[in-house]
Chains A and B, each alone.
Chain A
Amino acid sequence: MATKTRTGVSALALAAVLTSAAAAEGNTVKIGYVTGLSGACSSISEDGLNGTKLAVEELNAKGGILGRQIELIVRDSQTKPDEGGKQARELVASEGVDVLTGVCSSSVLLAVEAVAAEAGVPHYAIIGSTQKANIEAFQPNFWQIQPNATMEAFAAAAYVAKKAEWKRIQPMGYDYEWGHTSVEAFTEHLKELRPDIEITDPIFVKLGDNNMGPYIAPALSTKPDAIYAAIFGGGLVNLIKQGQGFGLFERSNLVTLTTVDALQSMGSTMPKTGVYGIARAPFFALPPSEELPGFIESYRAAYNEYPTDWAVNGYDGIMIYAAAVEAAGSTGMDALMPKIYGGTFDGLRGAGLTVRAFDGQMSAPAYVGAIAFGSEFPFPTLTDVDIVPGETLMWSEDKIQALRGAAN
């Protein structure tokens, strides 16, 4: 017993020595991963982390980045901005991380970005997004690999615009920044595409409200042909389940965000028709590539589930970072950022993706389709998926600059 303990202790000590030695020589590339393992974001965060881990393992097996092994240092933000900011600060100060990522909620994203910008550490978003990070709070250490709220809302608007038989649309959204941004962008874009469509006053859903009845009834009272809902997670599950009691899917249609985890957790309770989904990176609809089947396979082997959109983005995020660092030959911000903003990246979500230098946004595509029940997977998927190229969804530089001017 005593011996065993001692062995354990010395092994620990040895590990400590090794790590610090490695750190001292700058031998590892340190990725600081701040994510909401507890709190409102925890389910999404875990998926993102799983995808990231898989990418790190693959890269390390191939020899790492620039011949250096990658060290992933994970911290729990508890989905609180102050905690996230603190963790990021500590990662930068004590661990000397080379890059920060992983954040899920928009407020934590801004807190972490504030720390990263101040410390001059590159930072990229894979899950959480907020318009502010691209517009008024944008700093040239930041990039975002997933479509932002505006882009997803534009994709939804484009999809809705194609449904010639829909004449009246009721927008709904979560009552916080992301929801409001989405609804505004959707309304704006749809008006441009289809001036004939009537868009009724939006309804905003309080975060964490389990009872959707009081929102569904007024939404249906305008007799819309479709409801656009910028709602996800538990609230979306509630909306779909409780909506069935109001005959939502007989009387109208729902256009909303259906990431793979939402499809999974809805399972058989998902209505058979009337639901149209926007997804960020649905593994079943990604463009065919060499890596994709291997990724799905090893992900399933490692975690015993299908990769969700968050996992795909976590994976892509690291791969893009690795490619840029290889190209730059350094992890330093001055060398790296030009490669990020100037490079073209191939990932699971497609080839030839670029990042804009003026707002850090990647030209990530959005996926829109109709709900379908197939036999291939134990949960509903999307069918007839439109892959909307990111370029068509992004605001122009002029518009971004104008918004920046208005904000300051």
Chain B
Amino acid sequence: MNVLPKMTPLRWGIAGALIVLLELVNRLAGVGMSLVLTEMLILALFASSLNLLMSYGHMVSFGHAAYFGLGAYGFTLAVARFDVPVELAVFIGPIVAGLGGLVFGALCVRLTEIYFAMLTLACAQITFTVLFQWYDFTGGDTGITGFMNPRFGLTEQNFMTLVLVVLVLCLFAMAWIVKSPLGLSIRSVGQDRWRAEALGLAPRRVQLTVFVIASVFAGIAGTLFAVFQGSAFPDYAGLGFTLDALIMVVLGGLNSFWGGLVGAVILVQLEHWVLMVTSHWELMLGLAVLVLVLVLPQGVVSVAGRLSNMLGLGRKK
């Protein structure tokens, strides 16, 4: 397992095959499955953005949903309140999320570890409360609906394909960042801020940078989600989404580029299939998380890594 996504031709092949497979399932398995897949991919992007923060910056956020929500509302409000054309508004969502990340991040990076996490929680709750209570502007608890054709009016299948494309592009962008000098700086500060400082790197500036980047990607996910649902509700910025994303990252595997992605796939698919059998979804999820964390503390990705090593698929050292 490696923190950096190292792509061998074989892995490219597997990734390509998976994308093709997803698209096939999308086209052939019925509209219901397309919806599940769309949600899965959007959450995968959201979880990946949190993973960027956690696995590389070693910053654990308890309030990442704030930027998901800001992305959704940035887009929705631009369309519903300022009559911005939809094509333009999709860029406003991530920008608003990034600005939110800049403001809150500037405060949060003054703290470290659990104090950092608690401050992100406070910031997220403030965001949630404002969205929930500012009736005249955000629509309060009943949110904003009916301001546009959901999915830009695309069919469920076509929208899922669009989301897939966006996700792949975003993953490329994230991989690019992670492998760049900036990515190296982010990891350096994440590992040992004092060493980084002694080398002449200002830790807070780096942390703020990655915080904003993660917020922008969360904002893209939030914008996609608002388009998907055709609505925005304060819940999007709530603790529920944050916890879901945290669970995804940990389930998928911390310290791995693919952690958020894999975790989202597991969680959404688990939910989809478990709910068909029993209504005790929370119980099942709780037990599954418990078992997985106890049995596979490195996350599911580690198994994939070990398996591929066993099969000789991994990169030779």
Contact = CB atoms under 8 A, between A and B. Distances in A.
B114 interface: no
B107 to A, nearest CB: 25
Nearest to B234: A107
A90 B32 contact: yes
A90 B235 CA distance: 20
A180 B235 CA distance: 19
B145 A113 contact: yes
Interface string A67-98: 00000000010001110011001100111000
A20 to B, nearest CB: 12
Contact of A177 (B32, B141, B225, B235): B141
Given A85-B229, A111-B233, A177 B145 contact: no
Contact of B235 (A38, A81, A106): A81
Given A76-B275, A82-B229, A106 B146 contact: no
Contacts of B281: 38, 76
Given A89-B35, A90-B32, A82 B233 contact: yes
Contacts of B231: 81, 85, 110-111, 114
A106 B145 CA distance: 12
Interface in B125-166: 132-133, 135, 140-143, 145-146, 149-150, 156
Interface string A348-362: 000000000000000
A58 interface: no
B149 A118 contact: yes
B219 to A, nearest CB: 16
B279 A176 contact: no
Nearest to B241: A82
A111 B133 contact: no
B279 A76 contact: yes
Contacts of B236: 82
Q: How large is the interface on B (under 10, 10 to 19, 20 to 34, 35 or more residues)?
A: 20 to 34
Contacts of B132: 176
Nearest to B150: A118
B230 A93 contact: no
A142 to B, nearest CB: 11
A85 B146 CA distance: 12
A130 B141 CA distance: 11
A33 to B, nearest CB: 13
Contacts of B149: 118
Contacts of B279: 37-38, 76
Contact of B140 (A37, A89, A176): A176
A203 interface: no
A217 B282 CA distance: 38
Contacts of B156: 89, 93
A95 B149 CA distance: 22
Residue of A81, A82, A139, A180 with most partner-chain B CB within 10 A: A82
A175 interface: yes
Contacts of A95: 32
A137 B233 contact: no
Contacts of A89: 35, 156
A175 B140 CA distance: 10
B146 A107 contact: no
Interface residues of A, number: 30
A107 B35 contact: no
Given A81-B231, A82-B229, A110 B140 contact: no
A213 to B, nearest CB: 21
Contact of B233 (A81, A93, A139): A81
A295 B92 CA distance: 54
A86 B39 contact: yes
Nearest to A128: B142
A93 B143 contact: no
A131 B140 CA distance: 13
A194 interface: no
Contacts of A107: 141-143, 233, 235
A106 B142 contact: yes
A241 interface: no
A387 interface: no
A37 B150 CA distance: 26
Nearest to A204: B133
B68 to A, nearest CB: 11
A40 to B, nearest CB: 11
Contacts of B235: 80-82, 107
Nearest to B33: A94
Contacts of A175: 133
A177 B142 contact: yes
Interface in A130-161: 130, 132, 137, 139
Interface string B96-118: 00000000000000000000000
A117 interface: yes
A61 to B, nearest CB: 26
Given A114-B146, A114-B150, A82 B225 contact: yes
Interface of B: 30-32, 34-36, 39, 132-133, 135, 140-143, 145-146, 149-150, 156, 225, 229-231, 233, 235-236, 240, 275, 279, 281-282
13 contacts: A38-B282, A81-B233, A89-B35, A89-B156, A90-B35, A93-B156, A107-B143, A110-B146, A111-B229, A111-B233, A115-B150, A132-B142, A177-B142
Given A107-B142, A130-B142, 13 more contacts: A37-B279, A81-B233, A82-B225, A82-B235, A85-B229, A90-B32, A90-B35, A90-B36, A93-B34, A107-B141, A107-B143, A111-B229, A114-B150
